[in-house]
A and B are shown apart, each in its own frame.
Chain A
Amino acid sequence: MAGVDSAPATPYDSTGKKGLVVTGLLFRRLRDLIIILLVVGTMMFFIIRLIPGDPAVAILGANPQPQELANLRDALGLDGSLLQQYFAWLGQVVTGNLGQSITHHDSVLSVIGRHIAPTLTLAVLSTSISFCIAVAITTWNTVRPRGILSRMVNQMAPLGMAIPDFWSSLMFILIFALTLRWLPSSGYTNLFSDPIGAIPGLVLPVTALVIGQSALYTLVLRESVLSELSHAYLRTARNKGLSESQVAIRHVLPNALMPILTIVGTNFAVLVGGIVIIESIFVIPGLGSLLLGAIHTRDFPLIQGITLFVALLFVLVNLIVDLSYTLIDPKVRVS
């Protein structure tokens, strides 16, 4: 069995190496970002034009005058062939100009800027709360693997993932807003301008998002803990005379927590999809509501702008996840 690797290890943990890893990572991610944005943007461009109707029809309403329609289309840049429109749009996007929103009479970027805060608040709050819940539950389960809570969680977590968030939202509104009248069923206050006043409006939407996410993270962590339990370093830790809770907290969890970051990153796209629904149910003026409105009014530039923006966010979140591995995982850090 001498085949097991005993190759000479890296002699020194130089910061130069770490910089190298990060440079390579940034380079690859930048490349990915360009490809993803191009593909997403192109697909959206053609898909939304497959939907019957266009912004001119939407603005003029039913039975417009043909001459009026032609003029408006001309003004909106919808008169050329599909390919002409595509390349015109592409040329704009490359220079960083996402165009003018047709319905909001403003640039797409500033419209997005006005609606970004509620969406990010929901996303960041629900992700971090889910993460904390999952870590707390897993810590407890690792320390008390046969406890009642552990068994309950093992049964409940798949259920939590199976409940659709729109259903739980509607149930929350029915119970807590309409019947018990504890919390408002809609409305949004900026968390930063009025932290106390914002909380009641956030409780129900955030909880609806947290159920599925925390269940997912708990299940992933559970698998991760189980695979760590087979490692011999736990035998070493026990041999040092550590108690089971010390073994769990000091040795199992730090190693088991690493994979969950990847899930947080990849789950981000799913999360944004969920937020679109939640925002319209709770009437929160975020990107989701904005996107839904834009689709109704066939506001092509705005739809494209939001999609590109979300794609950008997705790539950035995953970049942050990868970069954080270089901080927390010693193997990524220096190898």
Chain B
Amino acid sequence: MLGERRSNGVYIDFLQMWNKPLTVLGCPVNMCRNIDPLVDSTTGARKGILAMPLLDVRDLTISVVTDETETELVHELSVDLEHGHTLCIVGESGSGKTVTALSIIRLFEFIAPVYTDGEIRVDGVDVTTLTADEMRAYRGTRIGMIFQEALDSLNPSQRIGPQLIEAYRRPGTAPRQASRKGTKLHREADAKARSLLTEVGLPDTDHIMAQYPHQLSGGMQQRVMIAMSLMSDPDLLIADEPTTALDVTTQAEILTLFRRVQKEHQTACVFITHDMGVAAEIADRIAVMYQGRLVELGTAREVLTAPQHPYTRALLECVPQLGVRRRDGFPTISSAMLKAAVEGGDVSGVSATETVRITEPAAPIDADADTPSVVIDRVSKVFGGRSGPLARVLPPKQEVHAVKEVSLEIPPGEFFGLVGESGSGKTTLGRIVSALQPPTSGAVRFGEHRFDQDGLHGSERSFRQRVQMIFQDPQSSLDPRHTTARIIAEPLRELGLARGAALRRRVTELIDEVGLPADCADRLPSQLSGGQRQRVAIARAIAAAPQLIVADEPTSALDVSVQGQVMNLLLQLQRSHNISFLFITHNLSLVLSVADRVGVMYKGDLIEVDSPEAIRTSSTHQYTQRLLAANPDLSNYQRRNS
């Protein structure tokens, strides 16, 4: 079976190819641009112009072989894309969307031994049949690519200028030919780089080209990447989650830029995203993938306003939307639905989503008289600066005011949402409230506990028992060598709350309470899914029965359907245990749909605290309005287009 397939080996002996002229299907590669698009390059038959999409993927199956077992990552995918249009591939993690993108450009074979079946035609040429060398020539001149991690995608030890120029290639020139200084080609490339930088909104080209990647902000790095992808005037751009790592306001700018550039250069684009809101902003057509299968393909309008497939409907319903309260629980994708999506059977009778009803506790919690409010009293945090005996001798360091005089009170049982962009100081505030990092001035009071620049006053044990934290990335915040049971038991044992048989019983209860299967107890974090790992982190946090949980972006590493499940769990715990939450997030739609009150942080200031409704409809603060406007939200699209 494997023998019949084309294996695109990575370690192809390219050195032998050095002196060999590059050819694709008999004609020199650099002539590929001149292949008559109306002539089928394999048969020579003339085709109708409409029958010739720029990108035509037919029955694409991609599998990787590891340890003699073959895993299918993409199953019989067929999509196509016209010149100048944008196709969004939307899916959750594991849907095969990135694998598809990397396979179109044949970069996936550098990561894993891969077998492909089916065709990927770019302008009539089936790229799966090209040799490594031919593919290299094709990549450099025809296909541009933009990735999620702009910083990591740029060489850290090279200045921006040379990196841009290296990407310039005219048909007929060798790779890096433009890098040779003093040549005409170099001057051309330099001029091209400057005009593109100006076009992507970085007009100070002399300065930018002399910078190293780490000296630029995330938004600027992504602009540079966009400029780089256009250096050789590609017909096809592949963008893999290019805005996912950016703040919403930066994301909105980059999306606008992307649309403009694409229109001006008449470039077709495959845009990969997990975010239906982003897809709504940018797509002409949307392909929805699940577990390597295409579940729905249609125009953006069809898919977003009248989705045919229940999975698409479920996915759309799971996205938090402005103005839709979810205090009673988020819808989650039903397991029957997921099964049907993979098996491709009849899905008409399957209910797409399940909605958990978050119930009030049977017995009303008696409003515990000794549960205090958290009082944040004019807390500031300054990083940098010098202290100690040498502060006067040495030159001063730049000070960063991460949190500026923030005051706030969170009453018992309140779900307080703190929203802000990166660098707003929201995480620092969270760390101060949970007594992990002392403030520079001001104090946090919680009952008899007081935390100020001198550290924690009062018993640390009793404070840790009452205040717990949940972190963003459960992958790195759980010890990879501890089992689930050990992770959950640790706070109970260390705080002296339980031991022996009682401890084991409590751990079993907690595993059950957060909705993990009982056999998770002996598993390591690496053997759990992302959502399960976050449940372990939640079980650990609630083990000591805290009164306040500081949750720092607990769902932002999760898929939207899993995010719903985790949010439901947090909401349920809040109701049943009367826990207060300081919920820190960058996701405005999410926090507005669940929080009792919302605070907006901007550059260290808490600029606004109000009810979600008031924030959404009647915020007077300019920054809040900007955040709301930048928020890629489905409801806007659906209102505009239905």
Q: Which of A42-50, A156-164, A241-249, A273-281 contacts B (4 or more CB under 8 A)?
A: A241-249
What is the bound-complex CA distance between A325 and B196, given in angstroms? 33
- Cross-chain contact of A239 among B139, B154, B159, B586 (Cβ < 8 A): B139
CB distance from B555 to the nearest CB of A (A): 11
- Cross-chain contact of B152 among A20, A27, A232, A335 (Cβ < 8 A): A232
A1-B557, A145-B11 known, 18 other contacts, Cβ within 8 Å:
A2-B422, A4-B245, A4-B246, A5-B218, A6-B218, A6-B219, A6-B246, A9-B217, A24-B394, A238-B110, A240-B167, A246-B176, A250-B176, A251-B158, A254-B158, A330-B156, A330-B214, A334-B212
What is the bound-complex CA distance between A145 and B207, given in angstroms? 38
Cβ of A176 within 8 Å of any chain B Cβ, yes or no, is no
Cβ of A329 within 8 Å of any chain B Cβ, yes or no, is yes
- Cross-chain contact of A233 among B15, B156, B244 (Cβ < 8 A): B156
Contacts of B143 in A (CB 8 A): 239
Cβ of A97 within 8 Å of any chain B Cβ, yes or no, is no
A-B contact pairs, 6 of them (CB 8 A): A1-B556, A3-B422, A7-B423, A27-B394, A241-B139, A330-B156
Contacts of A4 in B (CB 8 A): 149, 218, 245-246, 422
Contacts of A24 in B (CB 8 A): 394
B155:A251 contact, CB within 8 angstroms: yes
- Please name the residue on chain B nearest to A234 by beta carbon: B110
| Chain B contact residues, majority secondary structure | loop
Cβ of A231 within 8 Å of any chain B Cβ, yes or no, is yes
What is the bound-complex CA distance between A238 and B12, given in angstroms? 14
What is the bound-complex CA distance between A234 and B107, given in angstroms? 10
Residues in A279-330 with C-beta less than 8 Å from chain B: 328-330
For the complex, count residues of B whose C-beta is within 8 A of A: 64
Contacts of A235 in B (CB 8 A): 107, 110, 145, 147, 153
B15:A144 contact, CB within 8 angstroms: yes
Interface string of B398-421 (1 = CB under 8 A from A): 000000000000000000000001
What is the bound-complex CA distance between A237 and B225, given in angstroms? 12
Query: Which bracket fits the contact residues of A?
Result: 35 or more
A236:B154 contact, CB within 8 angstroms: yes
Assuming the A-B contacts A4-B422, A233-B152, A241-B136, are A9 and B144 also in contact, with contact meaning beta carbons closer than 8 angstroms in the complex?
A: no
Contacts of B427 in A (CB 8 A): 3
- Please name the residue on chain A nearest to B231 by beta carbon: A240
Contacts of B251 in A (CB 8 A): 2
Cβ of A61 within 8 Å of any chain B Cβ, yes or no, is no
Cβ of A52 within 8 Å of any chain B Cβ, yes or no, is no
Interface set of A (CB-CB < 8 Å, partner B): 1-10, 12-13, 20, 23-24, 27, 143-146, 231-246, 250-251, 254-255, 258, 328-331, 334-335
A243:B175 contact, CB within 8 angstroms: yes
Interface string of B235-252 (1 = CB under 8 A from A): 000000000111110110
B422:A7 contact, CB within 8 angstroms: yes
Assuming the A-B contacts A3-B422, A243-B175, are A238 and B246 also in contact, with contact meaning beta carbons closer than 8 angstroms in the complex?
A: no
What is the bound-complex CA distance between A12 and B210, given in angstroms? 10
A236:B215 contact, CB within 8 angstroms: no
Cβ of B186 within 8 Å of any chain A Cβ, yes or no, is no
A6:B157 contact, CB within 8 angstroms: no
For A2, A243, A334, the residue with the greatest tally of chain B CB atoms inside 10 Å of its CB is A2
A2:B169 contact, CB within 8 angstroms: no
CB distance from A57 to the nearest CB of B (A): 48
Residues in B228-282 with C-beta less than 8 Å from chain A: 228, 232, 244-248, 250-251
